[in-house]
Amino acid sequence: MTAYSALEDRFRKIAVLGDALAMLQWDMATMMPDGGAEARTEQTATLKGIIHELVTAPDMEDLLERAASEVQEPWERANLREMRREWIHAAALPPRLVDALARAESACEMVWREARPAADFARVLPSLRVVLTLVREVAAIKSERLGVSLYDALLDQYEPDGRAAEIDAVFTPLEGFLPGFIAEALEAQSCRPALLETKPPFAVDAQKALGLAMMKTLGFDFHHGRLDVSHHPFCGGTPDDTRITTRYDEGDFASALMGVLHETGHALYEFGLPKGRWRSQPVGRARGMVLHESQSLLMEMQACRTPDFMAFAAPKIREAFGGSGPEWEADNLYRRSIRVGRGFIRVEADEVTYPAHVIIRYRLEKALVEGRMELEDLPAAWTEGYQRLLGVTPPDDRLGCLQDIHWYGGAWGYFPTYTLGAMTAAQLFQAATDAEPGILPGLARGDFTPLLSWLRTNVHAKGSSVSTRDLMAAATGRPLEPAAFEAHLRRRYLGA
């Protein structure tokens, strides 16, 4: 057995263990009774420990060095590069820290589930302090190993080679652009005919049936996935068994529906990743969270909030809830789907205000990781950010710093990928519709095949064989440019 084939075999085992861990985590978020928390913490911590041991085995560095002279095929070279990336991240951390963080994350998430509905940040503060202390330790170790800043060391786990300096170069002008543009969009909206409201309640069973139908329309494969309910919508599981979740509100069917469309975008990316030999290898995985978020936002924001798609969807929505009258017509439902409003909840935000939600979180988590802010100051700093960028004041912590699971579950350095993903989605969708004139007419018929085919070829099937930068250049003819996102917003919301 060559060094490279030995590595492929080892990473295949790592992938299988990771798949098992993903299913346990999905179950914890959807089906597991509260009494299973202690045992589940032990299970997830043990699996993470075994994975860490395999990635950091004593012979790993030698195998990586010897394999470098064995590989010839481009995909093998890319796979070896991704193996080395994974090894560098894992080997930087001592096993006791991996175990401690896994246990702290699971424990904190369970407390968060109680604290969030109670709007009680103080309840989760001690557990979150433990998580942040360990995250700072991880950041310090990886920062030294990678030769990057504390925040960059965490960001790199979610977006390979992502750097805060590049994010700041994009977010700083966007932060200056958003307050004025939000006001412009609201002004333009006020000059149009008043929106007609659909009247609740909207039965959960009807919402679920509609969501399942729309998932099928987009191309979701129910032989390899399912829809469930959780506290926070997410896409999990594996590429061959993809689990998405949403949450329902009988007073607002659009929230769950758009959540389902968003998570279906994630799932379609997972379904489209390379199969066969590469399915269980690092090169066959999604290329970072910027691209992953681009795929969810491309489906939800770019494709499903077009007049074309709404022409198809409106009769389905009307039938699902037994609606009648002008409030259920396509034009009214479309304008409702792009309604701009200053709100508190990120996952329910429109695409104009959404970047502000992300920028606030990015600034806060960066300050917390770098020690420029303490956790006790988080609720007040959160409120200040919302007043400054969105002009609203969260009434309590449930609608403030408790709303997202990320920090409580240990995901630090993740948030900026959402808005970077939105920019990527806008640029990819423009390139796709330019290249394939049948995409928009297809959406009007409920046929996502032209769009999905383009994405399969230009994004999904690439896996991690190329960098995000190179993928964007090949797919769109240019690197990611924030101007494309701004132009999209101006066209959609100002008609400019």
Token pair listed for 79: 């796979």
Tokens 């407390």 -> residue: 111
Best CA proximity match to 20, nearest among 46, 39, 47, 49: 47
Q: What are phi and psi of 245, to 5 degrees?
A: -135, 160
Pairing of strands 225-229, 241-246: parallel
What whole-number distance in Å separates Cα of residue 289 and Cα of residue 425? Answer: 12
What whole-number distance in Å separates Cα of residue 430 and Cα of residue 435? Answer: 9
H/E run at residue 401: none
Q: How many CB atoms lie within 10 A of CB 364?
A: 20
Task: Give the rounded distance of the alpha carbon of 87 from its chain centre.
Answer: 24
409: helix, strand or coil: coil
H/E run at residue 236: strand 235-238
Starting at the earlier edge strand, list the strands of the sheet with 235-238: 225-229, 241-246, 235-238
What whole-number distance in Å separates Cα of residue 464 and Cα of residue 286? Answer: 6
Does 86 qualify as catalytic in the annotation? no
Dihedral, CA of residue 451, residue 453, residue 457 and residue 460, to nearest 10: 80
Q: How many CB atoms lie within 10 A of CB 300?
A: 25
Contact (Cβ atoms closer than 8 angstroms) between residue 449 and residue 457: no
Pairing of strands 225-229, 235-238: unpaired
282 Cβ contact partners less than 8 Å away, ≥ 6 residues apart: 11, 79, 82, 83, 85, 86, 464
Active-site residue, selected from the candidate residues 263, 293, 351, 365: 263
H/E run at residue 229: strand 225-229
407: helix, strand or coil: coil
Catalytic residues: 263
